[in-house]
Amino acid sequence: MAVESFQPVVNLLRPNRSLPNLESYPFFTIIEDPYGVVYKNGSNEKCFLRFEEIAHFSDGTLKVTKLQLEQRMKDAKRRFVETRTIAFLVDNEEIRLLQKTLDSIQERLNLRSTLRRLEVLVGLNHLRQREERQ
Protein backbone atom coordinates (compact mmCIF):
# COMPACT_ATOMS: atom_id res chain seq x y z
CA MET A 1 0.00 0.00 0.00
CA ALA A 2 1.46 3.37 -1.02
CA VAL A 3 0.88 6.64 0.76
CA GLU A 4 0.41 9.64 -1.49
CA SER A 5 1.47 13.07 -0.29
CA PHE A 6 -0.19 16.24 -1.53
CA GLN A 7 2.40 18.53 -0.02
CA PRO A 8 4.34 20.62 -2.54
CA VAL A 9 7.96 19.73 -3.07
CA VAL A 10 10.17 22.56 -1.85
CA ASN A 11 13.33 23.27 -3.80
CA LEU A 12 15.99 24.06 -1.22
CA LEU A 13 18.77 24.65 -3.73
CA ARG A 14 20.46 28.01 -3.75
CA PRO A 15 19.81 30.10 -6.85
CA ASN A 16 22.48 30.33 -9.52
CA ARG A 17 23.78 33.88 -9.09
CA SER A 18 26.58 33.80 -11.62
CA LEU A 19 26.76 34.74 -15.26
CA PRO A 20 29.68 34.72 -17.71
CA ASN A 21 31.30 38.17 -17.93
CA LEU A 22 29.23 39.38 -14.97
CA GLU A 23 31.89 41.93 -14.00
CA SER A 24 31.51 43.72 -17.35
CA TYR A 25 27.89 44.74 -16.58
CA PRO A 26 27.07 47.75 -14.37
CA PHE A 27 24.84 47.24 -11.33
CA PHE A 28 21.09 46.94 -11.99
CA THR A 29 21.45 46.14 -15.67
CA ILE A 30 18.67 44.04 -17.19
CA ILE A 31 19.88 41.20 -19.38
CA GLU A 32 17.46 39.51 -21.75
CA ASP A 33 19.20 36.18 -22.37
CA PRO A 34 19.00 34.71 -19.78
CA TYR A 35 16.37 37.09 -18.45
CA GLY A 36 17.49 38.70 -15.21
CA VAL A 37 19.11 41.64 -13.43
CA VAL A 38 22.66 42.28 -12.24
CA TYR A 39 22.30 43.43 -8.64
CA LYS A 40 24.49 44.32 -5.68
CA ASN A 41 24.33 41.94 -2.72
CA GLY A 42 24.99 42.83 0.91
CA SER A 43 28.76 42.42 0.42
CA ASN A 44 28.74 44.87 -2.54
CA GLU A 45 29.43 42.02 -4.95
CA LYS A 46 27.78 41.70 -8.34
CA CYS A 47 25.26 38.87 -8.53
CA PHE A 48 22.72 37.85 -11.13
CA LEU A 49 19.01 37.50 -10.32
CA ARG A 50 17.51 35.07 -12.85
CA PHE A 51 13.78 35.52 -13.14
CA GLU A 52 13.08 31.82 -13.47
CA GLU A 53 14.61 31.54 -9.97
CA ILE A 54 12.93 34.62 -8.47
CA ALA A 55 11.20 32.53 -5.80
CA HIS A 56 14.59 31.76 -4.22
CA PHE A 57 15.45 35.39 -3.49
CA SER A 58 14.55 37.14 -0.26
CA ASP A 59 12.07 39.99 -0.04
CA GLY A 60 14.90 42.34 0.96
CA THR A 61 16.88 41.57 -2.20
CA LEU A 62 13.78 41.98 -4.36
CA LYS A 63 12.78 45.28 -2.69
CA VAL A 64 16.25 46.83 -3.04
CA THR A 65 16.47 45.69 -6.65
CA LYS A 66 12.98 47.06 -7.34
CA LEU A 67 13.84 50.46 -5.84
CA GLN A 68 17.01 50.75 -7.90
CA LEU A 69 15.21 49.73 -11.09
CA GLU A 70 12.45 52.27 -10.41
CA GLN A 71 15.09 54.98 -10.11
CA ARG A 72 16.66 53.80 -13.33
CA MET A 73 13.26 53.93 -15.04
CA LYS A 74 12.71 57.51 -13.89
CA ASP A 75 16.09 58.43 -15.37
CA ALA A 76 15.26 56.65 -18.63
CA LYS A 77 11.90 58.43 -18.89
CA ARG A 78 13.58 61.78 -18.26
CA ARG A 79 16.13 61.06 -21.01
CA PHE A 80 13.27 59.96 -23.28
CA VAL A 81 11.48 63.28 -22.82
CA GLU A 82 14.63 65.42 -23.08
CA THR A 83 16.31 63.92 -26.16
CA ARG A 84 13.62 63.52 -28.85
CA THR A 85 16.17 62.03 -31.25
CA ILE A 86 16.73 58.62 -32.81
CA ALA A 87 18.23 57.53 -29.49
CA PHE A 88 14.84 57.80 -27.79
CA LEU A 89 13.77 54.54 -29.45
CA VAL A 90 16.45 52.77 -27.44
CA ASP A 91 15.26 54.53 -24.28
CA ASN A 92 11.67 53.51 -25.05
CA GLU A 93 12.77 49.86 -25.35
CA GLU A 94 14.68 50.20 -22.07
CA ILE A 95 11.56 51.64 -20.39
CA ARG A 96 9.46 48.73 -21.67
CA LEU A 97 11.96 46.18 -20.36
CA LEU A 98 12.27 47.96 -17.01
CA GLN A 99 8.48 48.00 -16.62
CA LYS A 100 8.25 44.30 -17.42
CA THR A 101 10.93 43.54 -14.83
CA LEU A 102 9.36 45.75 -12.17
CA ASP A 103 5.99 44.09 -12.76
CA SER A 104 7.56 40.63 -12.27
CA ILE A 105 9.19 41.65 -9.00
CA GLN A 106 6.02 43.35 -7.70
CA GLU A 107 3.94 40.30 -8.59
CA ARG A 108 6.27 38.07 -6.56
CA LEU A 109 6.27 40.47 -3.58
CA ASN A 110 2.45 40.68 -3.66
CA LEU A 111 2.15 36.89 -3.72
CA ARG A 112 4.45 36.52 -0.72
CA SER A 113 2.55 39.22 1.18
CA THR A 114 -0.75 37.46 0.52
CA LEU A 115 0.66 34.12 1.62
CA ARG A 116 1.95 35.67 4.86
CA ARG A 117 -1.47 37.15 5.60
CA LEU A 118 -3.09 33.77 4.99
CA GLU A 119 -0.59 32.07 7.29
CA VAL A 120 -1.40 34.57 10.04
CA LEU A 121 -5.14 34.09 9.48
CA VAL A 122 -4.89 30.30 9.56
CA GLY A 123 -2.67 30.50 12.64
CA LEU A 124 -5.15 32.78 14.42
CA ASN A 125 -8.08 30.53 13.54
CA HIS A 126 -6.15 27.54 14.86
CA LEU A 127 -5.50 29.34 18.16
CA ARG A 128 -9.18 30.37 18.46
CA GLN A 129 -10.32 26.79 17.91
CA ARG A 130 -7.90 25.61 20.57
CA GLU A 131 -9.21 28.20 23.06
CA GLU A 132 -12.82 27.25 22.34
CA ARG A 133 -12.08 23.58 23.10
CA GLN A 134 -10.67 24.44 26.52
What is the Cα–Cα distance from 20 to 25, expressed in whole angstroms? 10
pLDDT(1) > 70: no
97 φ, ψ (degrees, to nearest 5): -65, -40
pLDDT digits (tens, 9 = 90+) for 62-119: 999 899 888 888 887 777 666 665 555 556 777 788 888 899 899 999 998 998 888 8
Radius of gyration, CA atoms only, the chain: 20
Q: Which of 4-8, 37-41, 105-109, 130-134 has the highest mean pLDDT?
A: 105-109
- Classify residue 48 as exposed, middle or buried by CB count within 10 Å of its CB (0-12, 13-18, 19+): buried
The rounded distance, in Å, linking the Cα atoms of 84 and 73 is: 17
What letter represents residue 19's amino acid? L
What's the average model confidence in pLDDT over 12-32? 75
Cα 24 to Cα 40: distance, rounded to the nearest angstrom: 14
User: For 1-8, what is the mean pLDDT?
Assistant: 54
b/e string for 90-125 if b means 16 or more Cβ within 10 A?
Answer: ebeebbebbeebbebbeebeeeeeeeeeeeeeeeee
**Can you give the pTM of this predicted structure?**
0.67
Has residue 16 got a pLDDT over 80? no
